Amino acid sequence: MPQDALHALIPRLATSVACDILRKHAPERLLMQGVRAMWPAPGLAAGPARTLRYLPQRCDVKTAPGGNARTKLLDSLNPGEMVVIDTMRGHGPVVGDLTGLRTLRAGAAGVVTDGPVRDMPEVAQTGLPIFAAGVMPAIPEAPELAWEHDAPIQCGGVLVLPGDWILADAEGVLVVPKSLLGALVAGADALMSEEAFSRALIDRGHNLADSFPIPARLRPAYEAWRKSGVLPDEATVRGA
């Protein structure tokens, strides 16, 4: 199952590495715009998406026809899930310290929204990873409407379907379609290994032209290093 392999990868993964692996799939279009980490959480937050869609408040609509979809979503979370909230870049905060605490106690992996959040100092203390468009302390007298959950949404300009994976860290929030999970897992080892080889050469003082991306003439040396862990000597790298 790609999901299990992905779980095992998370400690070594970053959104930038995932983008490199998915480079043939236009990852720049899978990256949310205007959404960033609200406090410097360590490492990568990742998990399958549970979606929530907001619509703007209006004088004649007090609540969504099906009731408050936010409460329903947060009270039905399973461990490891990522909450993803489409606010159409709305102006009122949709998560705060109490809803954040509920999310954490439910075992969720994090929260992503393209609207503002609040109570970030308190949320940061709990350790819940939050990715949002900014902070705003006031809930308007007529807040926006939590309309439906677990339906297709956009968030930060990217389509999110229930069950897609979300990868989020200090550099961005990436939506990985379910159909690409296998490609992500399959490509991770090769990419990280190639970058480690290049990094070792650069760290020893070599030029970019001799180390990254790995030149064709150094492919055999790279394969040898993969097996033996022994770097080629300096003359070999320089092609002298």
- Positions in 96-125 near a copy of itself (CB under 8 A): 96-99, 101-102, 105, 118-121
Burial class (CB in 10 A: 0-12, 13-18, 19+), 110: buried
Task: Give yes or no for residue 186 binding a copy of itself (CB under 8 A).
Answer: no
Query: How far apart, in whole angstroms, are the C-alpha atoms of residue 47 and residue 109?
Result: 6
Of positions 2, 48, 92, 110, contacts a copy of itself by CB under 8 A: 92
Contact stretch for a copy of itself (CB under 8 A) within 2-10, 58-66, 184-192, 232-240:
58-66
Helices marked H in the chain: 2-9, 15-21, 69-74, 97-105, 120-126, 181-203, 219-228, 234-238
Amino acid in position 87: T
Amino acid in position 85: I
CB of 86 to a copy of itself, least distance (A): 8
CB of 83 to a copy of itself, least distance (A): 12
Chain positions 159 to 178 lying near a copy of itself, rule: CB under 8 A, are 159, 161, 169-172, 174-175, 177
Contact stretch for a copy of itself (CB under 8 A) within 4-12, 66-74, 185-193, 220-228:
66-74
Residue 35: Cβ within 10 Å count? 24
Nearer to a copy of itself, 109 or 117 (CB): 117
